[in-house]
Amino acid sequence: MRCLIVDDVHPVLITSLRQEGIQVDYCPDYVRTDAEQVIDQYQILILRSKFRVDKAFLELAKDLRYIGRAGAGLDNVDARQCSARGVELIHAAEGNADAVAEHTIAFILVMLNNLWMAGQSIKDGRWDREAFRGLELKEKTVGILGYGNMGRAVAKRLYGFGCRVMAYDKYLTTWPDEFATRATLEQLQTETDILSIHLPLTAETQSWVDATFLRTFKTGLFLVNTARGGILPIEGLIPLLQDGTIAFAALDVLETEPPTASDQKILSIYETLFSLPNVVLSPHVAGWSLESYRKISEVLATKILHQINRVKN
């Protein structure tokens, strides 16, 4: 069996596959056109977000059996086309759940204490303590939208802060743990002080958390998005940040990352967003820790080998 890896991964993934007799070709410099030339020779493809695996690409992948995503989301892979061709999708969401959870907690604490602007004020020569009197997380209600690997990891870390944690997940049939109370969407909208988004990007969730949706929550909401930018349209978010409907937003992901120089509309929207004092940003790194770099590859290797051995047996 042959495996093509087209993105940077931790060496433990390559070593683990080779130890099981899989021929691994590690080509992190490949772009889509390079992969298209050779993909018919491989049974396994591993990538992060290098390119989209769509119908046209899969038609070239005559012998492909597995696609491994070295990360959490599968939004750059056409799951329907994979299913139709018998290609199994495997991802490693557990590998960076800890990193995402810690980043989310950091975002929440930065917002409640306005640490970004407080630090900047000192650098600007001001020492205005009263302007930066913070809020305590204790006794706040945190609403988690999506209770998969990431949402659960966040809830587990919030457990010790003395806050109330609720979660909404449309697709869970049984509740997995005691760290968050199961809530209806209406309860989340009525009672949440801090909303943290942990949804996958799908056709259903694309642009779902829009201005209309956010206006159903209490005024003065604190908002965190470490999931996918496509879930939360920025153009509609800006007026809510300006009029106080959203007190503060912490965004690790944006709809276009990064925008191109030719996309003047997106650049204009982002310029406005970046100028707002009640916004804190990071460049899609919530799950991007030194530890998660290795753990993602370990998890993915284990899952791929498990599936291969299961088929053999």
CA neighbor of 36 nearest in space, from 13, 11, 53: 53
Catalytic-labelled residue, pool 88, 284, 294, 298: 284
Catalytic-labelled residue, pool 228, 235, 298, 310: 228
State the residue for tokens 């005024």: 219
Catalytic (active site) residue 215? no
Catalytic (active site) residue 228? yes
CA distance 279 to 204: 26
**Torsion sign across C-alpha atoms 161, 113, 221, 96:** negative
- Supply φ then ψ for residue 279, to 5 degrees: -135, 135
- In this structure, the strands spanning 2-5 and 44-47 are parallel
Catalytic-labelled residue, pool 257, 294, 298, 310: 257
Task: Annotate 106-158 with DSSP letters as a single string.
Answer: HHHHHHHHTHHHHHHHHHTT---TGGG----STTPEEEEE--SHHHHHHHHHH
Active site positions, annotated: 228, 257, 284
